[in-house]
Amino acid sequence: MHANRVNKRIAQLVGSRDHLISDLPLSGEPIETVTSGTERTHFVLDATATRSILTDDDSFAPAPIAASIQRLSEHTDIDASEAYRFLTHNPLQTDRPAHADVRQQFVCAYARSLQRHGKRLSAGARSHFDRLTQHPPCALTRDVVAPGVDAILQVFLADDDVPAEWPARIGGGAAMLEYMHHPRKLAAKSAQIKALFDELAAHRGEPGPRDDVRDAILTSYVLQGREPIIGGITAYLCTWLSAPEAERAQLLESITAVQLFARTAPVNYIGRSARKDVRVAGHAISAGDHVLLMLPWANADVLARQQRSLAFGAGAHMCAGQALALALTDAFLDALRGAHHAIDWSAVRPEPPVAGVFRQYGSSP
């Protein structure tokens, strides 16, 4: 019953937000509370309170993740202890030197890989928009965003130089899932990426890739990024299409991938559990209470546009999946800047603003 009430409130908050969030936090109380008997869950809708909680390791801890990691290890070849070691040092929770070093090594190698293939990513995006000039879209997600993201991804995965770096890095726990999924969803995602690889192999007349390469892609891209990328881009395009046609080119020139994800916040919350009784923004939180740091209002913090951003795809905590999300989105936006004048958008209708990943609340945040 309590989980149902919490999920209902999450849905209300997500459903009431605009496609693009302004720089101002949500008006009203900075912290709301849902109570059912002895269970209490607090919704934090204030940037200052959010940062206070994220930086107070003595008072707040991440939700238990051991069960999620075990489920993950059953579907991939990743060692559960390595996954747990990395996740317990997630820099959204802490940012110790050991974690910072391994993250920096991985992201630097990953960034070099992305830079080598930047032109190829852009070519994949342009080919997608060239098709749209011949076949006008009717739906943003179905016709424009989802196939565009997949077209760019296919170009990226088709290069033999890229996957070689990933298995060893990811197998060592240097990059891992930030958002956990139910085993059924994990299995569905595994099937989805396998189908994509099979399609690529058939197109190139070659056998399918090794399982370890497929799992590397699964963990570094699909589970971390596909829904947030698609949800974020779709939310932005809804606002973009609502603008007068004469203003659209300027809007595209003024947006970057980092800004897009900060203002669309395609994941709806970060979860914490209170270790002890504490007061935040004048609000009492008891030991054992659950705390949901609601995005995107946390991004209203002035630091959200600087290095220590809480936004998806930005800041010192960026992971491999987020780095790839930025590269894909930049390629998508670049191609759109060059092609939007030639596309007939008249049949496209605005879509409801909804988070790209609706993170379900259960027995723990």
Determine whether 160 is exposed, middle or buried from the number of CB atoms within 10 Å of its CB (0-12, 13-18, 19+): exposed
Q: What is the mean pLDDT of residues 129-154?
A: 89
Q: What is the mean pLDDT of residues 268-293?
A: 88
Q: Where are the domains of the chain?
A: 2-342
**Annotation: CATH topology of 2-342:** Cytochrome p450 (1.10.630)
Percent of the chain predicted with pLDDT > 70: 47
d(CA 289, CA 273): 6
Please write the tens of the pLDDT for every residue from 170-210: 332 222 233 233 445 445 545 554 555 555 455 445 444 44
**How many other C-beta atoms can be found within 10 angstroms of the C-beta atom of residue 132?**
21
d(CA 273, CA 16): 26
Q: What is the mean pLDDT of residues 249-270?
A: 80
C-alpha dihedral (133, 136, 139, 142), degrees to nearest 10 = -60
Is the CB of residue 345 less than 8 Å from the CB of residue 136? Answer: yes
pLDDT band at 326 (very low <50, low <70, confident <90, very high): confident
Is the CB of residue 238 less than 8 Å from the CB of residue 260? Answer: no
- Among 15-19, 262-266, 329-333, name the one with the lowest average pLDDT: 15-19
Average per-residue pLDDT for the chain: 67
Q: What is the mean pLDDT of residues 241-247?
A: 92
Q: What are phi and psi of 272, to 5 degrees?
A: -140, 160
pLDDT value of residue 275: 83
d(CA 169, CA 353): 36
pLDDT value of residue 169: 34
β-pair partners for 60: 274
Residues in the chain: 365
d(CA 148, CA 132): 10
pLDDT value of residue 229: 79
Contacts of 245 (CB under 8 A, 6+ apart): none
52 or 35, higher pLDDT: 35
Give 178's DSSP letter: S
Kind and range of the H or E element at 155? helix 146-157
Is the CB of residue 330 less than 8 Å from the CB of residue 256? Answer: yes
Q: CA nearest 233: which of 20, 49, 10?
A: 20
pLDDT value of residue 208: 46
pLDDT value of residue 101: 57
pLDDT band at 261 (very low <50, low <70, confident <90, very high): confident
pLDDT band at 61 (very low <50, low <70, confident <90, very high): confident
Q: What is the mean pLDDT of residues 234-244?
A: 90
315: left (phi over 0), alpha (psi -120 to 50) or beta: left
234: left (phi over 0), alpha (psi -120 to 50) or beta: alpha
pLDDT value of residue 67: 43
